[in-house]
């Protein structure tokens, strides 16, 4: 189900609707932030860069380039008229805001928190506009709601694999990968060994470093050490009665008060995704499910000792308090159930190293070419997922998987349709 609008942002008493229609969104930005000429210039520039980034990303299957052949592919695949967009790899979002005359405190808070949930970046000053533009304008493209939740997407993929004669082995954690007889042996925690000429890993690069053996291990250790900064998340699931308005959008970003942050999690904003009314696979009639998340430093949750449960409860309460203050209809609804997860939860249940989620933060300190590559130096071993180019979010991870498919099809004699 396509969402319209994609999101509503609640910032310092302002309700900002992220319309998909570009003209309507610019009118909304002018209404809230003023400076019509500056806002229009900024968003026209952001949308133009974003359109080019998505177009170019879709046709460059071997990026970042790791060989002479890859560089030649870049030269022959791309339109030279798209090259000027590369200058925005060296300009921050803050630089472009200043050029357009829109760098006010209110607009910067808005942009900072939008970049945090899309590019995982800390601030406008540390986000290349090349990537920041795509993150800031994702609401101007099609966004969808999956009835029954994202689990239905997983089930659809599983069914497709099985329909094609493949198998999906759940509850089987891979604990070792080693080179063997011209291919690879993949060993699970149950002692089962799978052998294949081609292996694709989609776990975070930090986790991959722990299971690779032999000559692969030093390379993965270097990749893991190079990208050793990432966010954790504090997440909540909340079930409430349904006292929400009929026209209330289902996605919301709630800012902490006036540029501040929540004391326990340290988050400047909270993202809320509500189940759609009538989606009875997720909630019965008269009830709604809210999935809530915010960024938090991952490491601190592992050093709380005996105070962990108390601090987690405090974090829950501060988020529920923010929802009562900022989310229309929440205070009038009854909370029937709530539970939470911290980076410790993400490590214990999903096995993500230190509970890190969301991929690698964008940064001005990292080169456009400085990404974990999909093709490793080891023939037949490929990577995808949110710590591999192009990274975060369903679109980025999906594009990374598509790139790997074409690499495998080109480099190996496999039966593919």
**pLDDT score at 414:** 57
Q: Examine the domain organization and report whether 224 and 336 are in the same domain.
A: no
Note down the domain range covering 210. Answer: 151-228+358-411
Q: Tell me the mean pLDDT in the region 68-84.
A: 75
Domain boundary among 310, 325, 355: 355
Pair 237, 339: CB distance under 8 Å? yes
Place 415 in a pLDDT band, splitting at 50, 70 and 90.
low
* Residue 117 contacts residue 253 (beta carbons within 8 Å): yes
Which of 355, 375, 402 is the endpoint of a domain? 355
Whether residues 66 and 111 share a domain: the answer is yes
59 or 309, higher pLDDT: 309
* Number of other CB atoms surrounding residue 327 within 10 Å: 21
Same domain, 256 and 369: no
Average pLDDT of the residues in 113-119: 93
Alpha-helical (H) ranges within 171-215 are: 205-211
Q: What is the pLDDT of residue 51?
A: 94
Residues 348 and 254 in one domain: yes
Is 14 part of any domain?
A: no
Asked if 209 and 170 sit in the same domain, the reply is yes
Number of compact structural domains in the chain: 3
Q: 344 and 257: one domain?
A: yes
Q: What is the pLDDT of residues 53-65, one digit of tens each?
A: 888 877 777 777 7
Q: Tell me: do 294 and 187 sit in the same domain.
A: no
Cis status, amide bond into 5, omega within 30 of 0:
yes
Q: What is the CATH number of the domain that holds 174?
A: 3.50.50.60
Per residue in 176-188, pLDDT tens? 999 998 899 999 9
Mean local confidence (pLDDT), 323-347: 97
The pLDDT of residue 224 is above 90: yes
Task: At 290, give phi and psi (nearest 5°).
Answer: -115, 125
Task: Label residue 48 by pLDDT band (50, 70, 90).
Answer: very high
- Residue 3 in domain: no
Q: Residue 416 pLDDT more than 70?
A: no
Q: Same domain, yes or no, for 252 and 328?
A: yes
Give residue 358's pLDDT band: very low, low, confident or very high (50, 70, 90).
Answer: confident
Across 238-265, b (16+ Cβ under 10 Å) vs e yields: bbbebebeeeebbbbbbbbeeeeebebb
- Closest by CA to 53, choosing from 45, 67, 69, is 45
pLDDT mean across residues, the chain: 92
Q: How far is CA 13 from CA 106, 116, 341, 356, in A?
A: 11, 20, 29, 32
Mean pLDDT of 280-293: 97
E strand residue ranges, 167-296: 174-180, 183-188, 193-196, 199-201, 232-241, 251-255, 269-274, 287-296
What secondary structure letter does DSSP report for 189? T
| Rounded Cα–Cα distance for residues 214 and 178 (Å) | 7
Residue 290 has pLDDT above 70, yes or no: yes
Based on the domain organization, do 254 and 351 belong to the same domain?
Answer: yes
pLDDT of 71 higher than 80: no
Q: Does 61 lie in the same domain as 32?
A: yes
Q: What is the pLDDT of residue 59?
A: 76
The model's confidence at residue 413, banded by pLDDT at 50, 70 and 90, is low
Least confidently predicted of 214-228, 233-247, 383-397: 383-397
């Amino acid at each position: 189900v396509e969402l319209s609008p994609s999101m509503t942002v609640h910032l310092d008493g302002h309700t900002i609707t992220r319309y998909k229609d570009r003209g309507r969104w610019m009118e909304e930005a002018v209404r809230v932030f003023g400076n019509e000429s500056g806002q229009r210039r900024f968003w026209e520039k952001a949308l133009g860069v974003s359109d080019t980034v998505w177009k170019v990303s879709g046709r460059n299957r071997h990026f970042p380039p790791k060989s002479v052949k890859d560089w030649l592919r870049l030269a022959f695949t791309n339109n030279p008229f798209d090259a000027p967009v590369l200058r925005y790899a060296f300009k921050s979002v803050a630089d472009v805001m200043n050029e357009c005359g829109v760098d006010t405190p209110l607009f910067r808070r808005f942009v900072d928190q939008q970049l945090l949930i899309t590019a995982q970046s800390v601030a406008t000053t540390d986000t290349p506009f090349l990537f920041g533009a795509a993150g800031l304008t994702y609401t101007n493209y099609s966004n969808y709601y999956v009835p029954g939740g994202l689990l239905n997407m997983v089930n659809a993929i599983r069914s497709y694999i099985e329909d094609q004669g493949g198998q999906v082995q759940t509850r089987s954690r891979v604990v070792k990968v080693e080179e063997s007889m011209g291919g690879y042996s993949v060993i699970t925690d149950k002692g089962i060994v799978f052998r294949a000429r081609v292996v694709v890993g989609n776990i975070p690069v930090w986790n991959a470093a722990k299971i690779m053996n032999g000559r692969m291990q030093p390379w993965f250790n270097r990749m893991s050490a190079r990208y050793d900064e990432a966010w954790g998340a504090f997440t909540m699931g909340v079930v409430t009665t349904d006292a929400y308005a009929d026209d209330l959008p289902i996605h919301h970003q709630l800012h902490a008060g006036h540029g501040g942050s929540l004391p326990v999690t340290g988050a400047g904003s909270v993202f809320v995704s509500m189940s759609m009314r009538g989606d009875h696979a997720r909630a019965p009639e008269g009830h709604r499910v809210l999935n809530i998340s915010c960024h938090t430093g991952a490491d601190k949750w592992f050093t709380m000792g005996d105070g962990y449960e108390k601090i987690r409860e405090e974090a829950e309460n501060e988020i529920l308090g923010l929802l009562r203050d900022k989310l229309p209809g929440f205070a009038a609804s009854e909370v029937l159930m709530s539970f939470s997860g911290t980076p410790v939860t993400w490590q214990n249940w999903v096995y993500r190293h230190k509970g890190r989620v969301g991929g690698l933060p964008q940064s001005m300190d990292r080169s456009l070419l400085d990404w974990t590559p999909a093709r490793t130096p080891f023939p037949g071993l490929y990577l995808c997922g949110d710590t591999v180019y192009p990274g975060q979010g369903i679109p980025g991870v999906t594009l990374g998987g598509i790139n790997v498919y074409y690499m495998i099809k080109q480099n190996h004699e496999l039966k593919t349709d």
